[in-house]
Chain A
Amino acid sequence: MAADYMDWLRREGRIVIVGASLAGLRAAETLRAEGFAGELTLIGDEPYEPYDRPPLSKSVLLGMASPHRTELPHRLDIDAKWRLGVPATGLDLTAKRVKLADGDEVQYDRLLIATGVRARPWPKEDEARLTGVCVLRTRDDAADLYQRLKAGPRRVFVIGAGFAGSEIASACREMGIPVTVAERAGAPLVGALGGVIGAVAADLQTEHGVDLRTHVTVTSLEGDSVGRVRAVHLSDESVVEADVVVVSLGSQRNTEWLTGSGLGAGPRGIACDAGCRAFDFRGIVTDDVFVAGDVARSPHALFGYQFLSLEHWGNAVAQAETAAHNMICRGADRRPHLWMPAFWSSMFGVNIKSVGVPPMGDQLMITQGSPAERRFVGVYGYQGRVIAAVSFDNTRWLEFYARQIERGAPFPVEYPTVDRRPENRQPVAADFPDPSLPTHGPTVTLSGYSPADQQLVFHPARH
């Protein structure tokens, strides 16, 4: 019976994907590549076909690419119905219908939710409406910010020194624009990489002429008589004049449209099993609703079965492929989503990359190079094993550390540092802030608990 259903679904079923960005597109392609011949619909709130976001804060702000031309290449023709510029507003799990903002309803047999995240806006609405107060998430945001930077502002003020805020500050400096960055924590990037690495990032910023203010919050944005932002007031009572303010306070998950649907969706995302099937609010897994990308939280065997939500480009691709595969195959052929977390950023001419889950690490050891030279690898340890690694301009080592993490290799590392530097041979506290304090937000969110803390040997599926 179940086999018959799967044959029917693959042949003439209806699959709806809500979210037409990287995860939605790659899922659609995987469905077709694996033989789904039924009706495929992609729903997206933005009026544009799927485009790539990482260039928006890098090559676009550097003037090397147009914000309007970052559409993603397609791996194959997906032959889909596109409903673009129309947000989904509701989900009826019983009737298997997605409700759209224009009043339309779309029927599905299987649903994939890939609605991602949006930029967290400045919380005071009247201040957020001032001309010159920006966020950076969409291509419209990027086009607007690029125009404002090109106009030659006297000073740009960036609120929040996460990756996005730091990349924007870097672009400003490259354009010769004075920039101030305010961060509630003690250094940039601390939520994602901890205080030791954060201190290196802080030095990078100040060396490049960024006016970096840490341990401060922005208390208010001041406008002029015609509604343009003119100054930023800080918690240390200082005032900084700026005509562009970029709010870079992390992101919010796009789950509001699922309120009342019965799905286990909320501000932390949509919980799903390792096979990308969404949980309902009772914690029971659904059969026909799948999740992928930034909006998903799924348990990872390698990281103590914690539910990870990863705002990482590579996760969107890998989880979309796994979800799509699992949507159209029988139970025994399903795969778990066990992607090794990895991300990159680039700022002030330095390439920053990471594998594993740094915020799980309580200790850090520099195993290659030297932070003083801005060229090193740092390894994070958690309960006696290697849990993550970060590199500054030392990418080629990360593959090695990814394998170490998979093997549950011991920490402190047992080998001498490869380039035999005398310094930093001892592990030090990684110095992550208290996770209950609000910051710009790490790009990995840990939640849940580990049922078994014993060391495990992990054999990732290779496909």
Chain B
Amino acid sequence: MRLVVDLNKCQGYAQCAFLAPDVFALHGEESLVYNPNAPEEQRERLARAVAACPVQAILADGLDDLAGEPGSGSGREASDGR
């Protein structure tokens, strides 16, 4: 599963690093490093991390059960509605 973190938004709350430690890690006090391609078995943990981020900085592919993902709903309708 692909993911990207908007590190301008990230404020190092580290919720993701607690919830999905194999995908996200803090490097030092507040630098976040992450694997932009999380293995499939991390799906549930990744979904929790996306949902828990206080600044909503994580965008991930293929977590369709998450309603809050920016842009998904209306955009898909627009492109499918041709």
Contact = CB atoms under 8 A, between A and B. Distances in A.
Interaction A to B: yes
Interface of A: 29, 32-37, 52, 54-55, 58-59, 62, 64-66, 69-79, 313-314, 317, 342-344, 346, 348-351, 353, 375, 393, 395-396
11 contacts: A33-B71, A52-B4, A55-B36, A59-B35, A65-B34, A73-B59, A73-B61, A76-B78, A313-B7, A314-B8, A396-B11
Contact of A395 (B1, B12, B27, B78): B12
A73 B76 contact: no
Contacts of A75: 59, 69-72, 75
A71 B2 contact: yes
Interface in B1-41: 1-4, 6-8, 10-12, 25, 27-31, 33-37
Given A59-B34, A59-B35, A71-B2, A77 B79 contact: yes
Interface string B32-56: 0111110000000000000000000
A72 B4 CA distance: 7
Interface string B52-82: 0000000111000000011110111011111
Contacts of A393: 28-30
Nearest to A174: B27
Contacts of A342: 8
B79 A72 contact: no
Contacts, number: 112
Contacts of A314: 6, 8
A34 B78 contact: yes
A350 to B, nearest CB: 6
A59 B29 contact: no
Q: Which of B36, B60, B76, B78 has the most CB of A within 10 A?
A: B36
A79 B77 CA distance: 12
Nearest to A391: B30
B11 A32 contact: no
Q: What 8 A-B pairs have minimum CB-CB distances, sorted nearest first?
A: A349-B28, A33-B75, A76-B75, A69-B37, A346-B31, A73-B61, A75-B71, A351-B31
Contacts of A317: 6
A396 B36 CA distance: 24
B60 to A, nearest CB: 6
Contacts of B1: 73
Contact of B76 (A34, A77, A353): A77
A59 B36 contact: yes
A344 to B, nearest CB: 5
A395 B33 contact: no
Contacts of A70: 36-37
B46 to A, nearest CB: 11
